[in-house]
């Protein structure tokens, strides 16, 4: 399988692994937003979060929480962002589902994307569209 993260799971490409078990691996992002930025992923190759079975999501999320707790125990970490990109339109570069666990600090200079406003009646239509697709 020509997948970068599958190769990291198989140890044919080196990475700084911080946790691994039968189903899940966690390693340092090679270009961290902040030092300690960890990627958490299932060892099974699936591209997007929707492709992951409910059964396989749980162990991944447990490791996301475990990594978050480890990062929060560091004296220089004051907050955490959990980020998960799906499809290139949303910024996904590596097509193997992964969660970014990003340590944050007051005043570290990173910003969230800006919010926008709904037009009158637009939010109700949007909520209905989502509910009818569930
Ligand atoms: P995404 O945009 O959500 O697909 O994020 C992919 C992430 O993988 C980026 O933050 C990259 O810095 C990271 N990355 C790419 N190659 C490697 C690598 N060899 N080891 C660790 N992280 C990597
Ligand atoms: Zn893969």
Q: What is the tens place of the pLDDT at every residue in 25-36?
A: 999 999 999 999
pTM beyond cutoff 0.85: yes
State the closest ligand 1 atom to the C-alpha of 85, by its place in the atom list counted from 1. Answer: 3
Confidence band of 1 (pLDDT split at 50, 70, 90): confident
State the closest ligand 1 atom to the C-alpha of 27, by its place in the atom list counted from 1. Answer: 21
- The CA distance from 18 to 28, in Å, is 7
Full strand arrangement of the beta sheet holding 79-83: 17-20, 24-28, 38-42, 99-104, 79-83
- 98 catalytically annotated: yes
What are 51-74's pLDDT values in tens digits?
Answer: 999 999 999 999 999 999 999 999
What pLDDT shows up at residue 58? 98
What pLDDT shows up at residue 35? 97
Pocket of ligand 1 (CB under 6 A): 4, 13, 15, 29-31, 39, 85, 91-94
**Residue of minimum CA distance from atom 18 in ligand 1:** 30
What pLDDT shows up at residue 130? 98
Fold of the domain spanning 4-133: HIT family, subunit A (3.30.428)
Q: CA 8, 13, 17, 22: dihedral to nearest 10 degrees?
A: 40
State mean pLDDT over 14-20: 98
Which of the residues 48, 96, 98, 110 is marked catalytic? 98
Ligand 2 centroid vs 41 CA: distance in angstroms? 9
The rounded percent of the chain whose pLDDT value lies above 70 is 100
What are 81-95's pLDDT values in tens digits?
Answer: 999 999 999 999 999
């Amino acid at each position: 399988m020509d997948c970068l993260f599958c190769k990291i799971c198989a140890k044919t490409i080196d990475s700084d692994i911080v946790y691994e078990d039968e189903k899940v691996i966690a390693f340092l992002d090679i270009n961290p937003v902040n030092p300690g930025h960890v990627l958490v992923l299932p060892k099974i190759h699936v591209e997007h979060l929707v492709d992951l079975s409910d059964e396989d999501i749980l162990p991944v999320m447990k490791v996301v929480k475990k990594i978050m707790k480890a990062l929060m125990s560091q004296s220089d970490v004051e907050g955490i962002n959990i980020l998960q990109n799906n499809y290139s339109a949303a910024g996904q570069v590596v097509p193997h589902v992964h969660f970014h666990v990003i340590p944050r600090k007051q005043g570290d200079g990173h910003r969230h994307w800006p919010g926008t406003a709904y037009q009158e009646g637009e939010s109700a239509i949007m909520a209905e569209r989502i509910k009818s697709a569930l």
